[in-house]
Amino acid sequence: MRLEHIRNFCIIAHVDHGKSTLADRLLLRTGAVEQRVFRDQLLDSMDIERERGITIKASAVRMMWQGKQINLIDTPGHVDFSYEVSRALHACEGALLLVDASQGVEAQTVANAYLAIEAGLDVIPAINKVELPGAQPELVIDQLSTGLGLDTTGILRVSGKTGLGVDDVLKAVIDRVRPPEGDPAAPTRALIYDAAYDDYRGVVVYVRVFDGTLRRGMKVQFLSNLSEWEIAEVGVFRPEMEKVDVLSAGEVGYFVANLKTLEHVKVGDTIAPAKERDVVPVPGFKDPKPLVFCGIYPASSQDFDDLRKAIEKLHLNDASFTFHPESSEALGFGFRCGFLGLLHMEIVQQRLERHANVDIIQTAPNVTYEVVTTDGETRRIERPAELPDPAHIKEFREPIVRVSIIAPPEAIGPVMALVTDRRGTFVKQDYLGPSRTILVCDLPLSEMVFDFHDLMKSATRGYGTMDYEMKGFFPADLVRLRILVAADEVDALSVICHREVAPRRGREILRALQKTIPRQLFEIALQAAIGGKIIARESITALRKNVTAKCYGGDVTRKRKLLEKQKEGKKRMRQVGGVEIPQEAFLSVLGSRREEKKRK
């Protein structure tokens, strides 16, 4: 298809502003899917997404409308997934910025809008859910124009739910998004913006073609590693995969080669014809910077290989998490994984359990720290066990994020109190119209990562939204809080925290352990220590009684099976210094673990 007939666009929005519903409407309207095969949130192909009603993976669909080929790339809205958003943006020329008519501009509306503007996209603002009784489109228009400086003339008013304004959206995409540039006759250049693993086809590579064409039988290379592959199939998403003869400049689709292993495919890489040496790579995007880390271990050690394969496979599909092998005294061999945020961590963990069929133990998450040693070396610390001896630490630094919180003006007081309580500092405050204030502050990432979002939500009665970006590492009075179970340090339970909060954090962790470690045949001492100094202690009293009163001829089999079940339960626990620690204990260190529901 000629370039002027192609439009590539994405929809960006704050989470829950109705992006997936509108996407579904567009698919229906353009006939990309028929009513009879229609399911809610068709683009969200993962079960987890559907269950949570949020979009995690960007996926692309080709639609035909009035002689134009329109490629829609769906993007996730959650703050943890801004990396995926930026991937989608690189494959498009335009973005539909969707704002909920009653919620108004929220933190990720701002963040995503800036990402799109920076990426040079044509931004089309649209107000969604205009059918709702609480809709205040005029207020939204004011926020968009004064707060974000967007041109709101001809702003779209739509309803994904009723289908109102869907034709206007399609028309605006055609009229206001520029067609892709590129030369179909030039040597091929295509950007890998995503990939997935299919059990039958192997690696499926998602591409945006910038120049030239991709077709079956063609030999191509990956510029980052110069490996060469013959293309076995090219196709598009409609939204199911559908074979086509050719993908040409400006188009979005997928190809399959004989890629059985995952090592060669790197999201952000450029594809060029084999042997071609003069191809200029398409500017890729920045490597993701994981902000939260945790250890992931197989529940039973013989599953290590299965876990490794599962992680590799998942990584292909979600390049934004990092992993490398590590070992823990308590948990054996596993992986240290880095995530963009807590929700991201949970989703990866669930996907692993679901698709790999491996029970996993996940350690409490922590953030990366930096240590400057007395020899002047700067080291990244991803887990407490990597800390050098305190005597060799010249400076201990923690990551600080700059957080933007958008909330009604009357909620700023409580939010500020929360920020102060979490060792945060005020940076500035701006007005975004009469009912919206942006509060910018700096916060230690470790204080933000666990439950700050929840607490901010309740401080703003649900109206507040937030976004954050990494600011850098800054010195802080940090300590390694050691957790001892029956006098043995359990490395997987120990944490790094600020000295001032250590006693409180220590008590919280011990109480959480008290609740999750079952009573055993002896009393178990739980201690929290900084160096050799115990700062908190608790204990789990010994199991008092566990005896079956009756067991006669007819009972033998049944009673034995009960005992077997009891024993089976123990196998899933980890033995540390004679104490059986269940998997939940490793997570309970989180204390007030945020519930995923609240975050949606």
Partner 1 sequence: MTGPSLYVHIPFCETKCPYCDFNSFAVLGRDVDGYLDALRREMDARGVPGDPPTIFIGGGTPTVVTPEQLARYLGDITARLRPDPAREFTVEANPGSLTREKVAVLKEHGVNRVSLGAQSLVDRHLATLGRVHRAAEVEEAYRMVREAGIPRVNLDFIYGVPGMTLAEWAATLETAISWRPDHLSCYALIFEPGTEFHARRSAGRLNPIAEDRELAMFRYTERRLRRAGILRYEISNFARRGEECRHNLVYWRNGEYAGFGAGAFSYLQGRRTGNERHLGRYAEAVRGRGDAIATEERLEGEAAARETIVLGLRTSEGVDVEAVERRYGVDLGGLRGTIGRMRGLGLVAPDGPLRLARRGWRVADEVAAAFL
| Number of chain residues interacting with partner 1 (CB under 8 A) | 23
Contact window for partner 1 (CB under 8 A) among 227-235, 257-265, 267-275, 546-554:
546-554
Q: Shortest Cβ distance from residue 517 to partner 1 (Å)?
A: 15
Element (H, E) at 534: strand 533-540
- Which of 470, 556, 572, 600 is in the footprint of partner 1 by CB under 8 A? 556
Write out the binding residues for partner 1, residues 473-532 only, by CB under 8 A. 521-522
Residue type at position 153 = T
- Residue 431 CA: distances (Å) to CA of 274, 294, 437: 54, 38, 5
Q: In sequence order, which residues have a C-beta less than 8 Å from that of residue 182 and are 6 or more positions away?
A: 3, 209, 210, 211, 249, 250
- Which of 420, 564, 572, 598 is in the footprint of partner 1 by CB under 8 A? 564
- Which of 67, 557, 595, 597 is in the footprint of partner 1 by CB under 8 A? 557
DSSP assignment, residue 145?
I
Contact window for partner 1 (CB under 8 A) among 58-66, 269-277, 296-304, 566-574:
566-574
Write out the binding residues for partner 1, residues 578-597 only, by CB under 8 A. 578
Query: Rounded to an integer, what distance in angstroms lies between the CA atom of residue 433 and that of residue 414?
Result: 20
Q: Which residues of 177-205 are buried (b: 16+ CB within 10 A; e: fewer)?
A: bebbebebeeebbbbbbbbbbeeebbbbb
Contact window for partner 1 (CB under 8 A) among 161-169, 346-354, 538-546, 592-600:
538-546
Q: Are 205 and 265 in contact (CB under 8 A)?
A: yes
Contact window for partner 1 (CB under 8 A) among 214-222, 278-286, 498-506, 558-566:
558-566
Q: Shortest Cβ distance from residue 562 to partner 1 (Å)?
A: 8
Q: Which is nearer to partner 1, 260 or 567 (CB)?
A: 567
Q: Would you state the structure tokens that stand for residue 501, as one six-digit string?
A: 């909060």
Query: Rounded to an integer, what distance in angstroms lies between the CA atom of residue 478 and that of residue 536?
Result: 17
Q: Shortest Cβ distance from residue 442 to partner 1 (Å)?
A: 51
- Residue 48 CA: distances (Å) to CA of 56, 342, 360, 587: 9, 15, 17, 21
DSSP assignment, residue 261?
S
- Which of 278, 549, 595, 597 is in the footprint of partner 1 by CB under 8 A? 549
- Which of 504, 551, 572, 600 is in the footprint of partner 1 by CB under 8 A? 551
3-state secondary structure of 483: strand
End-to-end CA distance of the chain: 40
Q: Would you state the structure tokens that stand for residue 508, as one six-digit string?
A: 């919280």
Q: Which is nearer to partner 1, 389 or 568 (CB)?
A: 568
Q: Shortest Cβ distance from residue 304 to partner 1 (Å)?
A: 24
Query: Rounded to an integer, what distance in angstroms lies between the CA atom of residue 4 and that of residue 160?
Result: 28
Q: Shortest Cβ distance from residue 549 to partner 1 (Å)?
A: 4
Q: Shortest Cβ distance from residue 458 to partner 1 (Å)?
A: 32
Q: Which is nearer to partner 1, 474 or 522 (CB)?
A: 522
Residue 153 touches partner 1, criterion: CB under 8 A: no
Q: Which is nearer to partner 1, 302 or 557 (CB)?
A: 557
- Which of 563, 592, 598, 600 is in the footprint of partner 1 by CB under 8 A? 563
Interface ranges with partner 1 (CB under 8 A):
521-522, 543-554, 556-557, 560, 563-564, 566-567, 570, 578
